[in-house]
Copies of this chain bind each other. A is one copy, B any other.
Amino acid sequence: MSMQDTASSGVALWRLVADGIERGIADGRFAAGDKLPGEMEIAETYRVNRHTVRRALAALAERGLVRAERGSGTYVEAQKLAYPLRSRTRFSEIVGAGGREPRGQLIEATDDVATRELARELGLKTGAPLVRIEAIRLADRTPICVSTTWLSAELFPNAGAVFAATRSMTKLLEHYGVRDYRRGATRITAGIVDATDAARLDLALGRPILVVDATDHDLDGKPLMTKHSRFAAERVEFLVENG
């Protein structure tokens, strides 16, 4: 396959090969520790020059997914985080369950006003004052997702400062007397990471992301906050346990 006989997709060939191999790792065709096929063999299966395969492998190696050993072969390194989507979903619990250290980090907290869309989600009027919190969440040192959270500025004054101190949405809500909350309807789609999120997630441009929109409610069904989260698709896998 050369660039001129396939419809130009705007994606480099080496990138397609790298994605193919990564998929193989993701779905278990290549398990952690396994040896990948030789560069020549990969080149033949993708009908591509060996140098193109080498570039693909170099990209995967740089991301820590594989490791090349001269004279021997190239070996698989990594795994994905299982992320159950339940009504009671807590990032820290999910990550902790996998034996990893959950961390949160505030990027910025700013004042905002409700668009019609946000107002509807939060049960407020259009133009109502909001706090917008931009945060990143990690498992050990690996960024998992960035999320934008909107809360009513009247119900949660100084929410930005509280989050900066607690680094946890659950603790933030506790601070305002909310003992428990549930997740409402969740919208999931996929897309390509933009430049800003790519930098925050330490993700290469053009990588796929899982986009999750959800609104959390208290136990009486009153909306508390609405979130727009972007997950590095290569690092997580959502589990919808029935529905």
Chain A residues in the interface with B (C-beta under 8 A): 6-7, 9-12, 14-16, 18-20, 22-23, 26, 28, 59, 80, 85-87, 117, 182-192, 194-195, 204-210, 233, 236-243
Contact = CB atoms under 8 A, between A and B. Distances in A.
A98 to B, nearest CB: 16
B23 A187 contact: no
Interface centre among A10, A19, A87, A195 (most CB of B within 10 A): A10
A233 B191 contact: yes
B243 A206 contact: no
12 contacts: A10-B11, A10-B14, A15-B206, A183-B243, A184-B242, A185-B241, A188-B210, A188-B237, A188-B238, A189-B233, A189-B238, A190-B208
Contact of A86 (B59, B209, B243): B243
A191 B12 contact: no
B189 A19 contact: no
A14 B208 CA distance: 17
Contacts of A209: 190, 208
A214 to B, nearest CB: 8
Given A28-B117, A185-B242, A240-B240, A208 B205 contact: no
Contacts of A237: 187-189
